[in-house]
Amino acid sequence: MTNAKPALAIEIGPMLEDIWTGIPVFTRRLISALIQDGRLDLRFVHNYIEIPVDAVRSAMLLGAGSFLRERYEQLTMSERRILDLNTPVLYPSSKSNLGGIYAREASTVHDLSTLVMPENHVEANVAYHMDHFGDELESNELTFAISQSTDAALQSAFPSTAGRTQLLYQYVDWPDEFEVLDRNSPRIDIGRYAVVIGTVEPRKNLTLLIEALSHPDIAASEIKFVIIGKRGWLVDSFLQEIPKHLRDRLIFSGFVSDFIKYRLIKAAEFMIFPSMYEGFGIPALEAMSLGKPVMAAMTSSFPEVIGEGGIYFDPFSVTEFAEAFAEIVSPSRAAELAAKALKQSSIFNPPRMAAPVVEWVCSG
C-alpha cells in the first residue's frame, strides 16, 4: 500500500478575475508546476470553501476566471465543504484575511514598491503595508518572495521575517498554438522596432525613453518603439516637447491580448524595460524566452532575472540609456545577447517553481 501524498490547498482568489494578467497568471503557472511535479495532493480553496478540482482545471484550460467564479457562486449548501484547518494553505499573493486560520500558512510577496517608492502610491496602499501587512506576515509559517530583490526588501522592512522566507521563481509558458498562429498571421510591417514595457506611472520610467529620443545616437537610428501599455494622458505633455518626426517613432499598442503581445515581442529586435523598480519583471523573461535580449535599468530584480541576457543602464541617465542602445542595436552584439537570453530564460522553469513549495509542505 502506497503512502498518501501530502496535501496542499491553494487559495484561488486571484483566478476569479475575468481577465488573467499578473498574479492570476502567476497562480495558474504555480498550479501547473505543482501538477507536473506530482508529489502533492492539490486542493483548492476560496474563503474557506473547497473548490472542485475539475472547476479549477477547466478554468486553466480557458485561461479566464468567469467560469470558475460562476461555479463557485453556484455551489449549493450541500456542496460547500469547509477546508480542513490542518491542511497547509498557500496564498499566491497577499492573504484575503488576516491569516492564522489554518495550522500552516504561507503567502507570496510580489512587489514592495509601496514601501520602496511610497511617493508613487496612494496613501491607502502604503498604509496597508505599514499597518496590516506585518500582521499577515506574522501568521505565516513561511513567506515566499518572487526574487532575491523582493526578499531583501521584505526582510529590510519586516526584520521578523528573517529565516522564514524562501524564493519562489516563476517561469513563462506560451500556449503551444501561438507559434503556429503567428506563422500563419500577416507579417507585422512597421520596420525595425524595439518593444517597450512602460506606462506613465512614474516608477515605470517611460519618460526616460521620451527624453532619450532627442539624443543624437537615438535620433539618428531607424528603430521605432512599440510601447505595450496604456498611453495615459500625462504622456501627451511630454511628447509635445520633442519634434514631431521623433514623436512619430513611438507607437502605443494599448492593452493587448497575450497572443498579440507574443507577436509584438517575437517580431521585435529587443525589449526595453526602463522601470525603476520591479518585484520580478516577467515581461523581461517573456522576451528572453523568445530569444530577445533586454535593455534594462540596473535596479531591483533585473540583474538576477536577466543575467547576461541583456544590457543595463542607470534609470536616471539619458547618456547611459543611449550607450546601452548603441550597443544592443549592433547586429553582432545583438546575436550574442540573443543566445544568452534564451539560455538565461531556461533556468526559470516549472520544476524550479514547484520545488520550494513541495519542500515547505513536506517539512511539516
| pLDDT tens sequence across 327-360 | 999 999 999 999 999 999 999 999 999 999 999 9
Q: DSSP for 289-317?
A: HTT--EEEESSTTHHHHHTTSEEEE-TT-
- Is 2 domain-assigned? no
Name which residue leads in pLDDT, 349 or 208: 349
Q: Same domain for 199 and 340? A: yes
Residue with the three cell numbers 472547476: 55
Question: Is the domain of 118 the same as that of 102?
Answer: yes
For residues 164-184, b (16+ Cβ closer than 10 Å) or e, as one string? ebbbbbbbbebeeebeeebee
Predicted local confidence at residue 238, as pLDDT:
66
| 206 and 132 assigned to the same domain | no
Closest CA to 276 of 294, 293, 298: 298
Say what percent of the chain tops pLDDT 90. Answer: 71
Quick one: 156 and 253 in the same domain? no
Rounded-to-10 torsion of CA 227, 233, 236, 238: -80
Residue 323 domain flag: yes
Contacts of 188 (CB under 8 A, 6+ apart): 263, 264, 267
The reported pLDDT for the residue numbered 118 is: 62
- Are residues 191 and 338 located together in one domain of the fold? yes
Q: Is residue 90 part of a domain?
A: yes
Q: Rounded to whole angstroms, how far apart are CA atoms 259 and 181? A: 9
CATH no. for residue 316?
A: 3.40.50.2000
Residue 57 falls inside a structural domain: yes
**Whether 232 and 340 share a structural domain:** yes
Give me 207's grid cell: 519618460
pLDDT reading at 29 higher than 60: yes
Same domain, 109 and 60: yes
Are 163 and 183 in a shared domain? no
Could you tell me if residue 105 is inside a domain?
A: yes
Structural domain contains residue 302: yes
- What cell numbers appear for 173 in the block? 509558458
Q: Are residues 315 and 358 in the same domain?
A: no
Residues 39 and 73 in one domain: yes
**CA neighbor of 96 nearest in space, from 12, 156, 207:** 12
**200 and 331 belong to one structural domain:** yes
Q: Which three cell numbers stand for residue 7?
A: 496535501
Residue 1 is assigned to a structural domain of this protein: no
Q: How many CB atoms lie within 10 A of CB 331?
A: 8
**Cα-flanking dihedrals φ and ψ of residue 12, to 5°?**
-100, 20
> What is the chain's mean pLDDT, rounded?
90
Q: Of 338, 347, 223, whose CA–CA distance to 292 is shortest?
A: 338
295-308 mean pLDDT: 96
Residue 214 structural domain = 177-345
> Is residue 29 in some structural domain?
yes
48-100 pLDDT, tens digit each: 999 999 999 999 998 889 989 999 999 998 889 999 999 999 999 988 766 78
**pLDDT(133) > 50:** yes
Count of domains for the chain:
2
- Whether residues 44 and 166 share a domain: the answer is yes
Q: Is 277 helix (H, G, I), strand (E, B) or coil?
A: coil
